[in-house]
Amino acid sequence: MSAHPEVRHPHGNLPQPAGCLARWNDRLLTWVAEHILASMATFDAALVVPLLALPAPTGVKITIGVISGSWFQWWALPALQRQQIKADAKRDAKADADHQALTHIAVTVDAISGHLEAQDKVLTGLVLQAQPPGK
């Protein structure tokens, strides 16, 4: 189905990152969030590695704590936040496009209703004129 010129696609409302570095960074964060952070392997590692470290020496426990508690969060949380911002922008663009489409539909229906009312008046007038006088 082809798009109607009065109704914009939601992707047309999305902000695009400006600059080569910003576009590259956006693609990288999207890939990290979709392929690494959202993977079952990352979930399994986050569950199993601390359990395996319980009997390990203190130095190993501290290293795992530093990696999981700070280093991992330094890059994982911004990637997840960026994905959330992009998801919010997509929802806002979709809501805006839906509003525009519904407004266009309502205006079109109102115009059609106005035409039908005008035709009804004309036809009613013709029917009244066609009736013989006295009826």
Tokens linked to 92: 């806002």
Task: Note whether residue 1 is domain-resident.
Answer: no
**Domain assignment of residue 116, given as a range:** 17-130
Model confidence pTM above 0.75:
no
Query: Which SS3 state, helix, strand or coil, does residue 1 take?
Result: coil
Band of pLDDT at residue 113, cut at 50, 70 and 90: very high
Band of pLDDT at residue 2, cut at 50, 70 and 90: low
Most distant CA pair in the chain: distance in Å?
Answer: 111
Task: Note whether residue 29 is domain-resident.
Answer: yes
pLDDT of residue 135: 59
For the segment 73-81, the average pLDDT, to the nearest whole number, is 83
- Averaging pLDDT over each range in 7-11, 77-81, 107-111, which range is the top one? 107-111
Task: Note whether residue 33 is domain-resident.
Answer: yes
Band of pLDDT at residue 47, cut at 50, 70 and 90: confident
Tokens 């695009």, residue located: 16
Task: Note whether residue 5 is domain-resident.
Answer: no
pLDDT of residue 55: 92
Say how many domains are in the chain: 1
